Structure 1
Amino acid sequence: MIKILRSFTLVGGIVLLFTACNEDAKNKPVTTAEITFKKDGELYFLNSERDTLKQLEIETAVSSYEQQTGLMYRKTMQEDRGMLFIYEEERPRPNFYMKNTHIALDLVYINKNNKVVDIQRDAKPFDETPIPSQAPAKYVLEINGGLAKHWNIREGDSVIFYLD
């Protein structure tokens, strides 16, 4: 009986220790290293007269990990920068959201002919509501919220981009 009681006490102590450690982990804020911009190329917005509306430095998201992470955890982005998601095929893009994203964004959906087919403006930080494209897209450009309007970017405009 004493052996059973000692075993029960030992197991109970171990469970209590793990529970306490788990509670400490739950209450600890998750911190990430600062992620810095990595220029992969340049992108130009052109209107229907082929006038340049804006030139940006771009970072690309090509791999599955880069596309899943996007601009998450970044606190700021300079006005003349953006992230271009590059996909193999053109199709509707229903899976964008703002989880762990600190800055408001405009999402510019671009088809395989480099035409802007949709713009979702001022996506709210940390909102996990899906932000789908209204038309098939091969590329998605994320820029600071409000800039598409400020730069007068519209559906039907074109983009040209060059990768380093």
Structure 2
Amino acid sequence: MTTFKLKAGFFTAIFCIFFSLHSCKEQPKNIVERAPITFTKDGELSILKKGTETAYIKFDIEISESEYETQTGLMYRSSMEDTQGMLFIFEDVAMRSFYMKNTEIPLDIIFIDENMHIVSFQKNANPFDEAGLTSTVPAKYVFEINAGIADSLNLEVGDLVQFQRN
């Protein structure tokens, strides 16, 4: 009887170990793929050369106002058309600092004051660079466009910016 109990206990233990090991078998991992983030046109932005009243260039803009939108900005985007940009709108005028964490495309960052004049630039910001890119004077708005466009359009401090929402 004791031998039967030992054998039964032994087989029960083996059975439990076998099934516990089998149930611990690694399950296939779910791979989550990030859907591409596409441009959403929220309005248009025009830049007027200082001293003129005619729009020099127009951009389609995506507007960023919420905390989440401001924190993510153009992150995780693989491209943007040269006629597109992102306009960040802040509640106050302050020194602004941006970085390129998780930003895949090089950018020109344009700082704009409360009177809608360009006051500072950070040109040719490198993708994925986490160094702070700061305005040289306080700004209320920040406009991001593809790198090199600010120079190709000869944008300057003092140029006037106008925008309208859709």
The TM-score by the shorter chain falls in which range? 0.7 to 0.9
What are the equivalent positions in structure 2 for 1:86-125 lying under 5 Å apart?
A: 86-94=89-97, 96-125=98-127
Q: CA RMSD in A?
A: 2.4
Matching residue's letter, 2:71? Q
Unaligned runs of 5+ in 1: 1-5
What are the equivalent positions in structure 2 for 1:123-134 lying under 5 Å apart?
A: 123-134=125-136
What is the CA distance between 1:48 and its match in structure 2?
A: 1.4
| Alpha carbons 1:53, 1:153 under 8 Å: kept | no
The change in CA–CA distance for 1:30 and 1:137 in structure 2 (over 3 A counts) is: farther
- Corresponding residue number in structure 2 for 1:148: 150
Distance in 2 between residues matched to 1:59 and 1:37, nearest whole Å: 7
Q: What is the number of equivalent residue pairs in this alignment? A: 147
Give the TM-score normalised by structure 1.
Answer: 0.81
- Corresponding residue number in structure 2 for 1:159: 161
Listed one character per residue, the Cα deviations across residues 54-113 of structure 1 (whole Å, up to 9, x for unaligned) are 10000000000000000000000001000000000111002x100111100000000000
Unaligned runs of 5+ in 2: 1-12
Runs of 4+ displaced beyond 2 Å? 28-31
Distance in 1 between residues matched to 2:33 and 2:123, nearest whole Å: 28
Secondary structure at 1:52 match in 2: coil
Aligned-residue identity in percent: 45
| Alpha carbons 1:56, 1:82 under 8 Å: kept | yes
Distance in 1 between residues matched to 2:78 and 2:154, nearest whole Å: 25
| Alpha carbons 1:104, 1:123 under 8 Å: kept | yes
Distance in 2 between residues matched to 1:30 and 1:133, nearest whole Å: 37
- Corresponding residue number in structure 2 for 1:71: 74
Distance in 2 between residues matched to 1:133 and 1:37, nearest whole Å: 25
Matching residue's letter, 1:89? D
Give the TM-score normalised by structure 2.
Answer: 0.80
